[in-house]
Amino acid sequence: MARITFVALDGSAKSYDAAEGVSLMRCAVDNDVPGIVAECGGACACATCQVLIAPDWLDRLPVAGPNEASMIDEDSGERGMVRRLSCQIEVTPELDGLVVHVPSSQY
């Protein structure tokens, strides 16, 4: 279990307990976090589950694979954070306390 906080575009934040092994995308979608579309259902094919994460968390996240990287523009970070596909990040105990921001657009 890890506590994950999602910050909406208007700055409002909500936290959820996510089970180990589920993806951040699943946690967001199951809790109806606005702005996480996830059109392909978690297959790394739609790039509509993008989130922003602060750089100091990066070493606790899996490295983006080639397929994920091929869909994210290098200069697409926002507010000093990097973009990742939330379906490609599984919840681990290490991610307890992670803060995830919804990006300004998925498209």
Partner 1 sequence: MSIAFATPVIPDHVPENLIRPFPFVFGTITEADPFNEWVPEVHKGPDIFWTPHAYPGGTPAWIVRRTQDLRDLYFDTENFSSKDFSPYSKMIGDTWTNLPVEIDPPKHAMYRAFVNPIFTPKAMAALEEKIRSYAVEYIEAFRAKGECEYMKDFAFEFPIKVFLELMGLPLSLTPQFLEWETGLLHEPDMGKMAAAARSVVDYLRGEIEDRRKNPTGDIISYAVQAQIDGGRKLDDDELVGFCFNLFIGGLDTVSTNMGGQFAHLATHPEDQARLRANPEMIPTAIDEMMRAYAAVTTFRTCTREVEFKGVRMMPGDKVAVCTTLGGRDPEEYDRANDVIIDRKPKHVSFGYGPHLCVGMHLARREMRIAMEEFLARIPAFTLKPGHTLRRHLGMIQPVELPLVWQA
Which residues are at the interface with partner 1 (CB under 8 A)?
39-41, 43-47, 65-67, 69-71, 73, 107
- Tell me how far, at minimum, the Cβ of 61 lies from ligand FES, in Å: 14
Note the residues at the interface with ligand FES (CB under 6 A): 25, 38-40, 42-49, 85, 87
Burial 55-79 (b: 16+ CB within 10 A, else e): eebeeebeebeeebeebbeeeeeee
* Of the candidates 91, 103, 107, the residue with the CA atom closest to the CA atom of residue 52: 103
* Binder of residue 85, out of ligand FES, partner 1, none (CB less than 5 to 8 A by kind): ligand FES
- Tell me how far, at minimum, the Cβ of 75 lies from partner 1, in Å: 10
H or E element that contains 89: none
H or E element that contains 51: strand 50-53
* Binder of residue 25, out of partner 1, ligand FES, none (CB less than 5 to 8 A by kind): ligand FES
Sign of CA dihedral 43, 66, 73, 22: positive
Rounded distance between C-alpha atoms, residue 91 and residue 107, angstroms: 25
- Tell me how far, at minimum, the Cβ of 107 lies from ligand FES, in Å: 12
- Tell me how far, at minimum, the Cβ of 85 lies from ligand FES, in Å: 5
* Binder of residue 82, out of partner 1, ligand FES, none (CB less than 5 to 8 A by kind): none
